[in-house]
Amino acid sequence: MDFDSWAFPGIACAYNNRRGNLAARSGGSRTPGAHCGLATGGRVSEIVVESVSKLWGATKAVDAVSFTAAAGQLLVLLGPSGCGKSTTLRLIAGLEAASAGRIRIGGRDVTDLPPAQRGLSMVFQSYALFPHLSVAENILFGLKVRKVPATERAARLQRVASLLGLDTLLERRPSQLSGGQQQRVALGRAIIAETPVCLMDEPLSNLDAQLRQDMRREIRGLQQKLGITMVYVTHDQTEAMSMADQVILLRQGRIEQDAAPAELYARPATTFTARFIGTPPMNLIALADGAAGAVVRGSDGPALFDDKGDGLLAGIRPEDIRIAERQGVPARIVTVEYLGADSVAACTIGDQPIAVRTPGRLNLKPAAAVSLLWSPAALHLFDAATGRRVDDDRLRRVRDRAFVASA
Amino acid sequence: MNRANMHVWGWLLLLPAAALLALFTHYPALATILHSLYSTARPNRPSRFIGLDQYATMLDDPVFHQVLWNNTIFALGTIPASIALALLMAVWVNDRLAGRGFLRLAYFTPTILPMIAVANIWMFFYTPDYGLVDQIAGLFGFARHNWLGSRDTVLGCLIVLTIWKEAGFFMIFYLAALQQMPPNLAEAAALEGASRWTFFRRVTFPLVMPTTLFVLINAVINSFRLVDHIVAMTKGGPDNASSLLLYYIFEVGFKYWDTGYAAALTVVLLALLAGLATAQFLYLDKRVHYR
């Protein structure tokens, strides 16, 4: 997926102009850290997590998880609540002690080091701002603790404040700020440390939808501009897809899939991934053996492809399906949800539900009979028992022998 | 219902509470001020208006000077120490540690005990020769000491006892305040490398300031209000060395039956407490961060 199309290089420094003439600035330099004067001192750190586990009593919150965040990369830990993504982040931060495994940051084993010595900063879901301190004091807290000289502190505060558009808010208390401004202060406190690694624990979940979209771009812009290695925890797959270089999908403390966003979308390795990514997610339809090939279970044809169907799940993305007058697989409309740019129709084939996403407004009444079509390339297959994607050779064979084809 | 009627209703609803307050709080306070301007009635000499004579007597009363001084020492000895100890204990039992429920209970126990029971326990501690204090001191070769019988040590003994009794009570308020603090503040500070002391000084202490103000006002009032332990342990002695203002008022009023003078002393006590509370609010309120 190409991020350059929206990751405006000038966005972070030009924040003040955002309401004004961002477009005019967006042709700026894209060298990391070049025109902001803020950088990580040339140190870029890769994060290596090696079969790390965390046990709470008998429960495995994190179960032998291994992954690598390359230097300067934005890695997203994605998953439903309780999947261990926040715990994994806290293990990297050193806020929890790992029960097993090693964690290395920039080649240095930090498993047994306290958080402050790991060379990282963190933004908390609730921001964790000190409510009695002004914005400036909040941002400077760490520098004061580390006894950075006052003149350097002032200079760094100045840079961070203008970078984040906080110049006029420095004397305010957190309670006098809006949610988005508080978020910026938390970001400021993280980046003023100029650490090569920044951890984010669902930083946008307390913001409204519009602001969330703006901040997504801003954080991504900052991360690229400053050349930080970032580990970002979220349960929101849109955030993951739009921001990440690499996504790690977690489920019950284990890695379900570790891939780039495009790969995650195009080749989900399991039914869990298939159900998690996409809005609405991929349809998974149980198949059965029919007379002429595999049919949708509970229907009497037509055959989708010339092979056995029992024990398989067909995966088809809602946006890959077209509604046709005839030729395709007969289905029945259950409801139609109109979303503006497109409509999502919930249908059934036999006893299997299937969602269809079509552009524009769909004028079909519930119980209407329709015909569904998709191209062979849109078909994915999963083993119903293990939930795993069938291997490529078999999938290619099946796609070659598909009957339902998009005209 | 028209407007006038609504006002009548409002006042009628307020009346029971207002009547009780007026009868038992406002009237006695005003009556005390009034009484302090009259001489005490004697069998041969009825009460008469004497203006501020009682207050003039007070200025020349060496016992009044002594108890006021005692009370100042008592307040300075108990208030900062019990508050500091309360905060320390609260921070300690707020941590994740084994058996902290038990520890919290142990710290709170002195508060549950009635002052008379506490006085009995500490009477035993302070008993010469076979009291706990003397026995332990004896192990290190110190000579016996009559702790409550000596002018030099009696007030100190009462101060220690009071700190022991009050700190657990104040700890509960601090504990409640500490548990209101989001745990990720400590985590954010830990990531910045702040030591426990830095975190306490820069974050915890300012954030529990509202509690400190509340506890401080309570502690000041208590330091002028506690009298049970004196009644039970020393009766103000020896030689008024452990007498406090309220105990002196009690003696003047109900032992010597000089009610006019007692009323004047009471007015001074009330003025003192009102003044201290106002000063604390005015001075500290601006410096306290309220959430």
What are the structure tokens assigned to B209, written together? 């300031």
Residue B194 has its nearest CB partner, among A124, A145, A175, at A145
Query: Rounded CA gap, B118 and B111, in Å?
Result: 9
How does residue A64 score in pLDDT terms, banded at 50, 70 and 90?
very high
Domain boundary among the residues A217, A239, A266 is at A266
Distance from the A116 Cα atom to the nearest Cα atom in chain B, whole angstroms? 5
| Two tokens, residue A302 | 């037509």
Q: Which of A115, A126, A131 sits opposite B191 (nearest CB)?
A: A115
Backbone φ and ψ for A350, nearest 5 degrees, come out as 60, -125
**Is the pLDDT confidence value at B187 over 70?**
yes
pLDDT of residue B1: 64
B191/A93 Cβ within 8 A: yes
Which of 188-207 (A) contact B at CB < 8 A? 189, 193
Domain ranges of chain B: 60-285
Helix, strand, coil distribution of chain A in percent, nearest 5: 30, 30, 40
CB contact under 8 A, B194 and A141: yes
Q: Do B193 and A120 touch (CB under 8 A)?
A: no
A141 touches chain B (CB under 8 A): yes
Within this chain, do residues A319 and A175 fall inside the same structural domain, yes or no? no
CATH number at residue A122: 3.40.50.300
Closest CA to B205 of B76, B91, B75: B91
pLDDT-wise least confident of A322-326, B30-34, B257-261: A322-326
DSSP strand pairing (A283-289 vs A329-338): unpaired
Residues A227 and A307 in one domain: no
> What mean pLDDT value characterizes chain B?
88
Contacts of B282 (CB under 8 A, 6+ apart): none
Residue A86 scores a pLDDT above 90: yes
Q: Is residue A183 part of a domain?
A: yes
Tell me which chain A residues have a C-beta less than 8 angstroms from the C-beta of B203.
130, 132
**A176 part of contact set with chain B, CB < 8 Å:** no
Run of H or E including B261: helix B259-285
Instruction: Please state which of the ranges A30-34, A281-285, A365-369, B223-227 shows the lowest mean pLDDT.
Output: A30-34
Distance between CA atoms of residues A76 and A69, nearest Å: 9
| CATH architecture of the region B60-285 | Orthogonal Bundle (1.10)
Asked if B187's CB is within 8 angstroms of A124's CB, the reply is yes
User: Does A13 score more than 60 pLDDT?
Assistant: no
Of A22-26, B155-159, B171-175, the poorest mean pLDDT is in: A22-26
Of the residues A231, A266, A301, the one at which a domain ends = A266
Calculate what percentage of chain A has a pLDDT beyond 90.
57
Q: CA B53, CA B35: separation in Å to the nearest integer?
A: 12
**Is residue A124 in a domain?**
yes
Q: Which of B189, B193, B207 sits opposite A146 (nearest CB)?
A: B193
Q: Provide the pLDDT for residue A43.
A: 58
- A233 with A194, same domain: the answer is yes
Determine the distance in angstroms separating the CA of A117 from the nearest CA of chain B, rounded to an integer: 8
* Nearest Cα residue in chain A from B201: A145
Q: At what angle do helices B154-180 and B100-112 cross, to 10 degrees?
A: 130
CA distance B234 to B243: 8
Give the tens place of pLDDT for each residue, A258-305: 999 999 999 999 999 999 998 899 999 999 888 888 888 888 778 888
pLDDT of residue A397: 87
Q: Do the chains contact at B182 and A130, CB–CB below 8 Å?
A: no
Mean pLDDT of B78-96: 91
Are A103 and A236 found together in one domain? yes
Spatial distance between the Cα atoms of A285 and A381, rounded to a whole number of angstroms? 9
Residue A134: its chain B contacts at CB < 8 A? none
Considering the domain architecture, whether residues A285 and A358 belong to the same structural domain is answered as: yes
Contact B145, B134 (CB under 8 A): yes
Q: How far apart are CA A268 and CA A199, in angstroms?
A: 26
CA distance B185 to chain A (A): 5
Residue A113 sits at the chain B interface (C-beta within 8 Å): no
* Better-scored residue on pLDDT, A326 or A370: A370
Please indicate whether, in this complex, the C-beta atoms of A128 and B194 are within 8 angstroms of each other. Answer: no
Helix extents (H) in A150-254 = 150-164, 179-191, 209-226, 237-243
Would the pLDDT of B147 be above 70?
yes
Whether residues A285 and A322 fall in one domain: yes
Contact yes or no for A145 and B207 at CB 8 A: no
Boundaries of domain holding A346? 280-400
- CA A10 to CA A25: how far, in whole Å? 6
What average pLDDT does range B178-184 have in this prediction? 90
pLDDT at B284 over 60: yes
pLDDT average, residue stretch B233-244: 84
Q: What is the pLDDT of residue A404?
A: 61
Q: Which phi and psi angles does B11 have, rounded to 5°?
A: -65, -40
Same domain, A261 and A287: no
Largest CA distance in chain A: 81
Say if residue A259 is in the same domain as residue A209: yes
How confident is residue A4, by pLDDT bands cut at 50, 70 and 90?
very low
Q: What is the pLDDT of residues B54-82, one digit of tens each?
A: 888 888 899 999 999 999 999 999 999 99
Residue B129, sorted as left (phi over 0), alpha (psi -120 to 50) or beta, turns out to be: left
Quick check: B185 and A175 CB within 8 A?
no
Asked whether residue A324 falls in the same domain as residue A302, the answer is yes
The CA-CA-CA angle for residues B165, B202, B190, to 5°, reads 105
Give B291's pLDDT tier (boundaries 50, 70, 90): low
Mutate to test the interface with B, among A56, A89, A95 (most CBs of B within 10 A): A95
Q: Which residues contact A233 (CB under 8 A, 6 or more apart)?
A: A76, A77, A85, A86, A88, A89, A199, A200, A201, A202
What residues are paired with A383 via a beta bridge? Answer: A312
DSSP, res A339? -
> How many CB atoms are located within 10 Å of the residue B3 CB?
7
Of A12-26, A199-213, A285-299, B89-103, least confident by mean pLDDT is A12-26
Closest CA to A272 of A288, A280, A284, A260: A284
Q: Is the pLDDT of residue A240 over 90?
A: yes
In whole angstroms, what is the distance from residue B187 CA to residue B207 CA? Answer: 16
The chain B residue lying nearest A194, using CA atoms, is B192
Chain A residue numbers touching B190 (CB-CB < 8 A)? 95, 114-116
Interface test with A, best of B180, B185, B192 (most A CBs within 10 A): B192
Torsion of CA A277, A225, A121, A61, to 10 degrees: 20
**pLDDT in the model for residue A384:** 92
Is A230 in the same domain as A342?
no
Q: Which of residues 145-204 of B touch A (CB under 8 A)?
A: 182, 184-185, 187-194, 198, 202-203
A58 and A120 belong to one structural domain? yes
The verdict on A147 touching B (C-beta cutoff 8 Å) is no
**Confidence class for position B97, pLDDT limits 50, 70, 90:** confident
- Residues 6+ away with beta carbon under 8 Å from B168: B86, B89, B107, B108, B109, B110, B111
* pLDDT, tens only, A87-135: 999 999 999 999 999 999 998 999 999 999 998 999 999 999 999 999 9
Examine the predicted complex and report whether its ipTM is higher than 0.85: no
* Confidence check: pLDDT of A38 > 70: no
Residue A22 lies in a domain: no
What confidence tier does A22 reach under pLDDT thresholds 50, 70, 90? very low
Residue A20 lies in a domain: no
CATH of the domain at A298: 2.40.50.140
Closest-CA residue of B relative to A140 is B192
Q: What is the pLDDT of residue B116?
A: 87
Residue from A355, A360, A359, A351 nearest A372 by CA: A355
pLDDT over 70 at A32, yes or no: no
| Residue A192 sits in the same domain as residue A86 | yes
| pLDDT average, residue stretch B231-257 | 87
Calculate the average pLDDT of chain A: 85
Contact B190 A142 (CB under 8 A): no
B18 or A38: which leads in pLDDT: B18
Residue A40 lies in a domain: no
Question: Rounded to whole angstroms, how far apart are CA atoms A275 and A270?
Answer: 9
**d(CA B285, nearest CA chain A) in Å:** 14
**A93 has a chain B CB within 8 A of its CB:** yes
* Burial (CB count within 10 angstroms: exposed 0-12, middle 13-18, buried 19+), residue B282: exposed
| Angstroms from B183 CA to nearest CA on chain A | 9
Out of A122, A145, A189, the one facing B193 most closely (by C-beta) is A145
